Amino acid sequence: MNRNGESVFRELALFQDYHGLPAFKNELVKLMSKIRGDRVKFDPNKLVLTAGATSANETLMFCLANPGEAFLLPTPYYPGFDRDLKWRPDVGIVPIHCSSSNGFKITMPALEDAYERAQNLNLKVKGVLVTNPSNPLGTTLTRQELNHLISFAVAKEIHIISDEIYSGTVFDSPRFISITEAVIDRNLQETDLWSRIHIVYSLSKDLGMPGFRIGMIYSDNETVVAASTKMSSFGLISSQTQFLLANMLADTKFTSKYMKENRRRLKKRKDMLVSGLKTAGIKCLKSNAGLFCWVDMRKLLVSNTFEAEKELWKKIIFKVGLNISPGSSCHCTEPGWFRVCFANMSEETLQISMRRIKTFVETILIIGNSGSSSQQQQPRGGSVISKWVSKLSSSDPEPDR
Active-site annotation holds for 78: yes
What pLDDT, in 10s, does the model give residues 342-376? 998 899 999 999 999 999 999 887 776 454 444 34
pLDDT tens track for 61-96? 999 999 999 999 999 999 999 999 999 999 999 999
Per-residue pLDDT band at 11 (split at 50, 70, 90): confident
Asked about 260 being catalytic, the answer comes back as no
Confidence class for position 399, pLDDT limits 50, 70, 90 = low
Mean pLDDT across the chain, nearest whole number?
91
> Residues 235-292: pLDDT tens digits?
899 999 999 999 999 999 999 999 999 999 999 999 999 999 999 999 999 999 999 9
Q: What is the pLDDT of residue 400?
A: 66
pLDDT bracket for residue 53 (50, 70, 90): very high
pLDDT tens, residue by residue, 170-209: 999 999 999 999 999 999 999 999 999 999 999 999 999 9
Predicted pLDDT of residue 385: 42
**Please, what is the Cα angle at 84 between 332 and 95, to 5 degrees?**
30
**pLDDT given at position 86:** 96
Percent of the chain surpassing pLDDT 70:
90
Annotated catalytic residue, options 77, 78, 115, 218: 78
- Residue 205 appears among annotated catalytic residues: yes
**Marked catalytic residue, from 25, 106, 163, 316:** 163
Instruction: Label residue 18 by pLDDT band (50, 70, 90).
Output: confident
pLDDT in tens, 132-146: 999 999 999 999 999
pLDDT band per the 50, 70, 90 thresholds, residue 383: very low
pLDDT grade for 16, boundaries at 50, 70 and 90: confident
Q: Which residue has the higher pLDDT, 227 or 376?
A: 227
Q: Which of 35, 93, 161, 165 is catalytic?
A: 165
Residue ranges and CATH numbers for the domains of the chain are 2-250 (3.40.640.10), 265-394 (3.90.1150.10)
Active-site residue flag, 82: no
pLDDT tier at 401, thresholds 50, 70, 90:
confident
Low-confidence winner among 7-11, 36-40, 168-172, 371-375 (lowest mean pLDDT): 371-375
Residue 384 has pLDDT above 60, yes or no: no
Which of these is catalytic: 205, 270, 315, 319? 205
Res 5: pLDDT: 59
| pLDDT higher than threshold 80 for residue 390 | no
Q: What is the mean pLDDT of residues 153-161?
A: 98
Q: Which residue has the higher pLDDT, 394 or 38?
A: 38
